[in-house]
A and B are shown apart, each in its own frame.
Chain A
Amino acid sequence: MIKSLMKGFSALVLLLSMASIVNATPVDTYEFKSVDNQKRALSLAHSLRCPQCQNQNLIDSNSPVAQDLRLEVYQMVDEGKGDDEIVEFMTSRYGEFVLYKPRMEAKTYVLWLGPIALLLFGGVIGFFFIRKQRIADANNQELSSEEQQELDRLLKRDAK
């Protein structure tokens, strides 16, 4: 019983480790000069969009363009080029589109700041709305003389 459990467990471990290997290695075989380079190149390629299959990044996509660009990124990293330089290389050819995270620029202010502005706007409206209701509630607590008479009458009736 324990033996078969152990067997099952080791099979699971093997499977999981294989899965993680599959996950970590892109399809092509490229020898990086160092592990740091590899890490940087992979994270960079993850952050760039494939211009052909538009909802995949350079690592996910298997289109010829993505393969080329991936290789280009790897080589540039190994040449010691900085992230900015590589991103500039990509955007000067394929446009801002390849960036998953758009740059903060005059034309992207609406994109970046819009949600914050909307949230603030909603908050301000909500604040005034709630405050108005509270004031109205507080004012409504006193009874008019007619209401008071009605209340007295009802109380008297119930007391009988």
Chain B
Amino acid sequence: MKKLVLFIPLVVVLGMGVFLYKGLFLNPQQLDSALEGKPIPAFQLEVLEKSGETVTNETLKGKVGLLNVWATWCPSCKYEHPFLMTLARKNILPIYGINYRDDRPLAIRELSREGNPYAINIYDHDGRLGLDLGVYGAPESFLIDHKGIIRYRYAGPIDSRVWKETLYPMVQQLQAEAAKDGAS
């Protein structure tokens, strides 16, 4: 018994070692979103391509969708763009764009040149919607369910690996939930 007591410090140190070693491989940029489980913040903004036409948070309800924050000034968005094009062609779910703190003509030109994967593009010129979504950089993506609740946030560019391993399983689950509720 007395000898066992002597091993306590060793066990404690080993435990701390394992704990700290794991910490080395955490990505500090991967923050939990405070908004998961909460509805999309209320907003009323113009459509990127048509000034005068407005989109609200109500517009995005009804379908499981992917909300993608992008801008022309963001290099990672350019990296992500081809994958979004492929994804849009597969017709799995609508992709809604949030054009974040950008210049309208520039953004429109970029889309006409590179292709437009977005079902709706929301023009968030002063970044107010981005702020309400807790966006701290682009690209960032949010999975929303058919009730307009944010279910998952992904910071960084989506590629086929992220899609296959993380997002698609969640999309399938959310679409199954939606089907159960009788929505599409």
Query: A residues touching B (Cβ–Cβ < 8 Å)?
Result: 51-52, 54, 63-65, 68-69, 72, 91-97
The docked-state distance in angstroms from the alpha carbon of A69 to that of B132 is: 11
Q: Let me know if B34 and A52 touch, CB within 8 A.
A: no
Set B29, B31, B32, B131: member contacting A72, Cβ < 8 A: B131
CB B49 to nearest CB in A, in angstroms, measures 24
- Could you say which of A65, A72, A92, A97 contacts B137, with CB atoms under 8 Å apart? A65
Judged by DSSP, the binding face of A is: helix
Q: Which of A54, A65, A69, A96 has the most CB of B within 10 A?
A: A65
A52 touches B33 (CB 8 A): no
Q: Chain A's nearest CB lies how many Å from the CB of B77? A: 15
Would you give the 0/1 interface string for B95-132, flagging 1 where the beta carbon is closer than 8 Å to chain A? 00000010000000000000000000000000100011
Contact of A52 among B101, B127, B131, B136 (CB under 8 A): B136
Give chain B's interface residues, CB within 8 Å of chain A.
28-29, 31-35, 101, 127, 131-137
Q: Does more than half of chain B's interface fall in helix, strand or loop, or is it mixed?
A: loop
Closest to A67 in B: B127
Cβ–Cβ < 8 Å partners of B136 in chain A: 51-52, 63, 65, 94
In the complex, are the beta carbons of A97 and B131 less than 8 A apart?
Answer: no
Contact A93 to B134, CB < 8 A, known contacts A51-B31, A54-B28, A68-B127: yes
Complex formed: what's the CA distance from A64 to B73 in Å? 12
Contact of B34 among A63, A69, A72, A93 (CB under 8 A): A93
Q: Is the CB of B133 within 8 A of A93?
A: yes
Is B34's CB under 8 angstroms from A92's CB? yes
Q: A68-B127, A72-B131 are in contact. Are A93 and B35 (CB under 8 A)?
A: yes
When C-beta atoms are compared, the residue in chain B nearest to A94 turns out to be B134
Q: A93-B132, A97-B31 are in contact. List 9 more A-B contacts (CB 8 A).
A: A52-B136, A52-B137, A54-B29, A63-B136, A64-B101, A65-B136, A72-B131, A94-B134, A95-B134
Residues of chain B lying within 8 A (CB to CB) of residue A69: 131
* Given known A64-B101, A69-B131, contact A95–B34 (CB-CB < 8 A): yes
User: What are 21 pairs between A and B in contact, CB < 8 Å?
Assistant: A51-B31, A51-B134, A51-B136, A52-B136, A63-B136, A64-B127, A65-B136, A68-B127, A72-B131, A92-B34, A92-B35, A93-B35, A93-B131, A93-B133, A94-B34, A95-B31, A95-B32, A95-B33, A95-B134, A96-B34, A97-B31
Instruction: Give A61 to B32 CA distance when docked, in angstroms.
Output: 21
